[in-house]
Structure 1
């Protein structure tokens, strides 16, 4: 056999080595970047659509909830005092809470801060009143009042002049009252205007009906200026039960696109949030002056302006009684601004088909948001049966 010399033996210390070339690495990086870009693009589009869908859903839900809240308040407006509207519609309200006057209030928070002056300085009993900005730049404001007693709204006649020390009403009977309930003391109107009325509470010591017909009252009475005090009511005055939690509320569009409310009776320092995403609110009256079931949609101007309806006259009380429905329109807006224009220069009309039709124009910046125009007709069920 042939022997291999030492020099002819295959080397045992040499190992084969392989790797990735620079070109291969660059190709792999390019492929990875393209895939990452595609994935990022899909995620970006998906998130944008998700954001738009969520924003639209939130906008619709906010609008529906805001209208629901307004519907609940307006539909019950006038409970407890509508059937006696000749005694109550238009009487100036005096009320105190915690030792301070809450109606009329000394001051109101925004957006209601100028309302008191614009309606003549007094808040008067009425189921629902619309205040419209005469310059057309602001949303409308609503004044909505209702009781919560659930009784037949029969006024309880006085048998003698109320006493002030102790504070008591002398009535034919006290069957419908309970301790802690609110009541309205009203005087029978004269020929031209209604005397002021007083909101008070039944004293906590009241244990139930008594044969004497004496109803003890709690709290302080309004004694400032020329407003009526308890002792100035006559033996012709009456008492109406407003229940434990009557609502004397204001509604309007406040800062940050919010629908807000304010409780006049509680005299709170700030407003309560009703709904988000509301940029504008308007309302009109459904009026039936002939009392024949035919509604005429009427703007809150002229004889139906808030200041005219709340002037305290007997005739204004009749006009308030002719209001059978409120039609409310609100505009909601999405929270997120789109990169592109997504809305036209004008929105669909509010109150279409009526003389009060309203169309909102949009600036170039506003057109990058999405909008909904919602419109609801709310009957004033306590006023539908009034013979005005």
Structure 2
């Protein structure tokens, strides 16, 4: 289990205000050791279903398991193969059956210990088992810490569409330990930085400026820089979720900047070929070029995004994939309405807008222009 870093910074709490579904995000360094006390401070627990994957379990399953047992909690530990393919109907069924076999009941809780895949999958298990169990998020990747663990979106994939089966199910709490990022492979860590850049583009130009000025501390995983970007990303997402929890007003859709292209890329390339953040990086630049084509965004701002993403060692070029398949995948995107493509398009750094009825050829030209020379 990670220990406190000598460069530790004071812990922070970010509140997600959702009336009776409100919860706190506890952000610190070395605080994973307190997970048992943290959960029992939030509610009475006798049984926890701890869900992780093969990569995360090797580092953190045993200490988290022991920390929960130390608080008198019976633990059912379930480990799935690492990677996007585990967000499937087949894996969900195995987890349902395993939890049932170990006497899950309506007072049990689910603890998601892992990255975005585990958060989505375990949250879906929590939302559906006995028509709803409380669950807690312990995100162990940067991407999950800044994005997928916050906001209550849970679900699984079908072969033809990512995240198409799911629901909104808010956690009871999120515990973020920046020290766990020390064991995160470099590629996974960099992938998470794409979602951080996204928050700057959609909501906060000064935050985007901060990222541009702090590339090296971010690449070096300096604790102060990590806590800053994680806390600010969580604050920004919490603001959006509080105003549009279930995507009824359209505001929450701005969190999907770049994701229409991103999800199409992930689907056509095959789940796992691109990490989610890598696909987000490519997708944001496609959406940025789309904004230029629609006359609402300027090329220098696209170049700023390109330069920052490149400096953070993220992919910026669209791969050579079947364009008909990419378009077909975009047409299955959750933002499509009445068969019409809709995209989150930037107006300036710090402000984006949902635009409807985008011509498919214009959308594909923004994709095509991203091919490397």
Q: TM-score range by the shorter chain?
A: under 0.3
User: What TM-score does the superposition give when structure 2 sets the normalisation length?
Assistant: 0.24
Taking structure 1 as the reference length, what is the TM-score of the superposition? 0.23
Greater share of residues in helix: 2
Larger RCO (CA under 8 A, 6+ residues apart): 1
Structure of larger gyration radius: 1
